[in-house]
Chain A
Amino acid sequence: MELIKTAFFGSTKSKVQLIGVIAALVILFLSPQFLNTYMPNFLAKLIAYVVLSLSWTIFSGKTGYISLASAAFYGLGMYIEALFGMNIPLPVVMVFAAAVAFAVAFGVGVVTLRLRGVYFTIFTFGLALFLQKSILWIEVKFFHTKGRMVLAYSNEAVFYCVLVVFAILIFVVILMNKSRFGLALDCIGQNEDSAQHIGVNTTMTKVLAFAISAAPAGAVGAAIGTSIGYVDPDIAFNMLLSFLPVLMAIFGGMRSMYGPIVGAVIFFVLQDYLMREYANLYMIIFGAVMVVVILFMPKGIFGLVDKAIAKRQRNFDGEVIGDVK
């Protein structure tokens, strides 16, 4: 309760943030009333990207352990929808998909997050491939098929389902940033040795954060699966989706919650535009943009803002210390 109070009403900044977030969610909620029938589909995919990027940041952005498992959790969600979607309503399947993603991530975390360094990244990359190939083998061997049909829902239904995931996620992120748990993750990211020696249970914190970050990916995977209509292992476990959240978060900047959101929006809109207008040159232009961003804005778009503020503050502080001496 205390936490909710400080996170949402603690300062003027947090109140403004709360109002802004609620306003944005309300506008999004009402938007299908004013848009053509294609737009909800576009927005659903856009929000799915935002969810992937923001949820990735919960764990990897804070701790610096780069996860390449987004495709694994997203794909699991899609496949779960394909398996159960015919008989069970989408929202229920989404909750189940989130739970499965949480459980799988928790298991993977327990095994790999005791290790530091690059092993975790390699393992998570392998996880997506492992699931892809295993499911393909099972499908071919036992069901003599490669893919499955997924029950289609209206664009609007999918949009609202994804929007709810986004709404829950954004409140969780705000709460986490103000909580002991979020602070523990910050400590781990900045110096894990020190974090451990001041009493942070680093392994448990990392495992739990990784599991929490996996759940939304599973949920939106299930929702987006219905808008594709057909799922096979190559579509569900598209490795590009493991790298996209990383790129989007770097693009936007990871220091604030808005970085990955803005990064994902720009990324998706740019990708969508380039794919439509310059289908042949899309990857080349896209790659060039990425290189430029990483070269000139290593901390992302929001990193530039941070830098400007920090520069001002440092000049100011420099003067103060000079006076004292």
Chain B
Amino acid sequence: MSNNVLIQGIGLTKRFGGMTAVNCVDFELRDGEILGLIGPNGAGKSTLFNLISGFIPTDSGETAFLGKKITGLTPNKVCHLGLGRTFQAAKNFPDMSLRENVRMGALFGVPDQTYAKAETETDEIIAYIGLGKYAGTAVPDIPLAGQKQIEVARALATKPKVLLLDELMAGLNPAEVDEAMALVKKIRGTGVTVLLIEHVMKAIMNICDRIIVLHHGALIAEGTPEQIGSNKEVIEIYLGEV
């Protein structure tokens, strides 16, 4: 694992009216790691994701991806540079089949993609994630865990270097959480760097190499799972006493 920085956020700030959702956040995502982003509800985690992916405009500060400034780019351009993401509530294409959902990622996510290549990549990714079991089911009828996997599959089909996962495990049962954890590790194993928002502490502590903690939009702690688990401030505002 090298220590090259893939994404660097400098002083990222976003205000909604009088509320500062993300307040001057500095962070870096290093090549090959799994970085956890935790914090109480409303801490600004998803907003930070939205700033990185270009989904909402940044008020001040900037994000660099592979040394290139991406602040101000639209999400489609950020995607083509190699950044994939999922949403907290799965956003799939409900009237398309599962396969079509993934194929759209393969087709549009890679500039100058050919149809034939998109087809083979789609099949590869579906097999890789293990979504074959839902092949015949209409997308809205697939259970939550599967819905989230479709999003991951579609994002992976865009061939990202970095994958942002927004609460992949929220609402899943323990067995599904284990599956999702294995999936994240597997994705990292193929050379994709992962930044994930998560509330499931078991997952966070097990799979993350480092963790950053947001509270009221500000970064309050950063470190290894052990360091975060014993950080007094983090325990007080988020983890709670055991």
Q: Are A199 and B109 neighbours in the complex by a CB distance under 8 Å? A: yes
A170-196 contacts to B, CB under 8 A, are 180, 183-184, 186-187, 190-191, 193-196
Among A70-78, A158-166, A215-223, A314-322, the one that faces the other chain is A314-322
Which residue of B is nearest A2, CB measured? B115
Which residues of A lie under 8 Å from residue B104 when comparing CB positions? 183, 187, 195, 198
Which of these, B75, B94, B95, B138, contacts A197 with CB under 8 Å? Answer: B75
Q: Are A198 and B92 neighbours in the complex by a CB distance under 8 Å? A: no
B27: Cβ under 8 A from any A Cβ: no
Which residues of A lie under 8 Å from residue B96 when comparing CB positions? 186, 190
Which residue of B is nearest A3, CB measured? B115
B105: Cβ under 8 A from any A Cβ: yes
Which of these, B94, B136, B158, contacts A190 with CB under 8 Å? Answer: B94
- A interface footprint on B36-63 (CB within 8 Å = 1, 0 otherwise): 0000000000000000010100000000
What is the CA–CA distance of A180 and B141 in the complex, to the nearest angstrom?
27
A271: Cβ under 8 A from any B Cβ: no
Q: Are A321 and B137 neighbours in the complex by a CB distance under 8 Å? A: yes
Which residues of B lie under 8 Å from residue A200 when comparing CB positions? 76, 108
A202: Cβ under 8 A from any B Cβ: yes
What is the CA–CA distance of A191 and B150 in the complex, to the nearest angstrom?
14
What is the CA–CA distance of A236 and B84 in the complex, to the nearest angstrom?
48
Which of these, A183, A191, A324, contacts B133 with CB under 8 Å? Answer: A324
- A interface footprint on B99-126 (CB within 8 Å = 1, 0 otherwise): 0000011011111000100000000000
The residue in A2, A191, A198, A201 that gathers the most chain B C-beta atoms within 10 A of its C-beta is A198
Q: Are A198 and B133 neighbours in the complex by a CB distance under 8 Å? A: no
* Size class of the B contact interface (CB-based, 8 Å): 20 to 34
Which of these, A184, A190, A196, contacts B95 with CB under 8 Å? Answer: A190
B155 nearest CB across to chain A (Å):
7
A238: Cβ under 8 A from any B Cβ: no
Q: Are A314 and B74 neighbours in the complex by a CB distance under 8 Å? A: no
A17: Cβ under 8 A from any B Cβ: no
What is the CA–CA distance of A200 and B109 in the complex, to the nearest angstrom?
8
Q: Are B136 and A198 neighbours in the complex by a CB distance under 8 Å? A: no
Which of these, B76, B110, B137, B154, contacts A196 with CB under 8 Å? Answer: B76
- B interface footprint on A199-215 (CB within 8 Å = 1, 0 otherwise): 11111000000000000
A286 nearest CB across to chain B (Å):
30
Which residues of A lie under 8 Å from residue B115 when comparing CB positions? 2
Which of these, B87, B91, B108, B136, contacts A199 with CB under 8 Å? Answer: B108
Which residue of A is nearest B159, CB measured? A199
Which residue of A is nearest B164, CB measured? A197
B220 nearest CB across to chain A (Å):
28
B80: Cβ under 8 A from any A Cβ: yes
Which residue of B is nearest A192, CB measured? B91
Which of these, A198, A314, A320, contacts B108 with CB under 8 Å? Answer: A198
What is the CA–CA distance of A314 and B154 in the complex, to the nearest angstrom?
23
What is the CA–CA distance of A228 and B151 in the complex, to the nearest angstrom?
54
Q: Are A193 and B108 neighbours in the complex by a CB distance under 8 Å? A: no
Which residues of A lie under 8 Å from residue B92 when comparing CB positions? 191, 194
Q: Are B91 and A317 neighbours in the complex by a CB distance under 8 Å? A: no
B146 nearest CB across to chain A (Å):
11
B157 nearest CB across to chain A (Å):
8
Which residues of B lie under 8 Å from residue A202 when comparing CB positions? 76
The residue in A2, A183, A190, A200 that gathers the most chain B C-beta atoms within 10 A of its C-beta is A190
Q: Are B107 and A191 neighbours in the complex by a CB distance under 8 Å? A: no
Report if A197-B93 is in contact (Cβ < 8 Å); known contacts: A183-B104, A203-B74: no
What is the CA–CA distance of A198 and B115 in the complex, to the nearest angstrom?
16
Q: Are B75 and A196 neighbours in the complex by a CB distance under 8 Å? A: yes
B153-171 contacts to A, CB under 8 A, are 154-155, 157-158
| 5 CB < 8 A contacts A-B | A183-B107, A186-B95, A193-B87, A199-B110, A324-B133
Q: Which residues of A contact B (CB under 8 A)?
A: 2, 180, 183-184, 186-187, 190-191, 193-203, 310, 314, 317, 320-321, 324
Q: Which residues of B contact A (CB under 8 A)?
A: 53, 55, 74-76, 79-80, 84-85, 87, 91-96, 104-105, 107-111, 115, 133, 136-138, 141, 151, 154-155, 157-158
